[in-house]
């Protein structure tokens, strides 16, 4: 009888724990009160600089939320740092072309470098609808540009289309782009 009670108690605890874990991963829209506006001016500034004044800067805020949860001290096991989770070697390459970008650890420069890097990826996609270019940019940021090219080749489609290409990408990358889209309110 004691074993039965223990199993029931352990199962109840496990279910409550799982529910709490899922609750922490609920994605609120990027414009909700759940997210701070602390770095918005940087996202606005560098979005405008690298993508133009009509581009919705919140895409990059959503990307930073997906990358780091807007934690400026975030560091991945692979060594990526900051809000935009930039690898130090990538930052070094970016800062060669942008010497004013000083420290990858600084939220200001981390956001600037991340959005600049997005722009370099975005420009690589030709013959692609604007929205698909954006999704493939985020996928490239996550998995690498070469992996997106390989997926594009495997899809066999001449016109690059996110719905065709994503089938050939890792689950993590598809989930990453999906999370950004969810944060932007595009999908449920």
Q: What is the CATH number of the domain that holds 66?
A: 1.10.530.10
The token pair at 175 is: 């989930």
Whether residue 103 is contained in a domain is answered as yes
Whether residue 40 is contained in a domain is answered as yes
User: What is the extent of the structural domain holding 166?
Assistant: 29-183
Whether residue 151 is contained in a domain is answered as yes
pLDDT beyond 50 at 18: no
Q: Which of 27, 8, 17 is nearest to 179 (CA)?
A: 27
For the segment 128-165, what is each residue's pLDDT rounded down to a tens digit? 899 999 999 999 999 999 999 999 999 887 667 899 99
For the segment 21-74, what is each residue's pLDDT rounded down to a tens digit? 333 445 677 776 667 888 999 999 999 999 999 999 999 999 999 999 999 999
Number of domains in the chain: 1
The token pair at 55 is: 């581009």
Whether residue 178 is contained in a domain is answered as yes
Whether residue 148 is contained in a domain is answered as yes
User: What does pTM read for this prediction?
Assistant: 0.83
The token pair at 58 is: 């919140």
**Which residue(s) pair with 81 in the sheet?**
75, 86
Q: What is the chain's mean pLDDT, rounded?
A: 86
For helices 88-97 and 107-122, angle between their N-to-C axes, nearest 10 degrees: 80
Whether residue 17 is contained in a domain is answered as no
Q: Which of 113, 47, 54 is nearest to 80 (CA)?
A: 113
């Amino acid at each position: 009888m004691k074993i039965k009670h223990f199993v029931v108690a352990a199962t109840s605890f496990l279910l409550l724990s799982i529910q709490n874990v899922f609750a922490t991963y609920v994605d609120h829209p990027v414009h909700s009160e759940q997210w701070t506006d602390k770095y918005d001016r940087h996202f606005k500034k560098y979005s405008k600089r690298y993508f133009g004044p009509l581009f919705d800067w919140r895409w990059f805020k959503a990307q930073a939320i997906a990358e780091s949860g807007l934690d400026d001290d975030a560091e991945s096991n692979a060594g990526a740092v900051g809000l935009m989770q930039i690898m130090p070697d990538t930052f070094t390459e970016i800062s060669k072309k942008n010497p004013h970008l000083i420290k990858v650890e600084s939220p200001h420069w981390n956001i600037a470098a991340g959005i600049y890097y997005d722009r370099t990826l975005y420009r690589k996609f030709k013959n692609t609808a604007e929205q698909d270019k954006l999704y493939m940019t985020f996928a490239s940021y996550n998995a690498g540009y070469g992996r997106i090219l390989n997926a594009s080749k495997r899809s066999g489609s001449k016109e690059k289309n996110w719905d065709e290409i994503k089938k050939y990408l890792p689950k993590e990358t598809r989930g990453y782009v999906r999370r950004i889209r969810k944060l932007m309110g595009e999908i449920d």
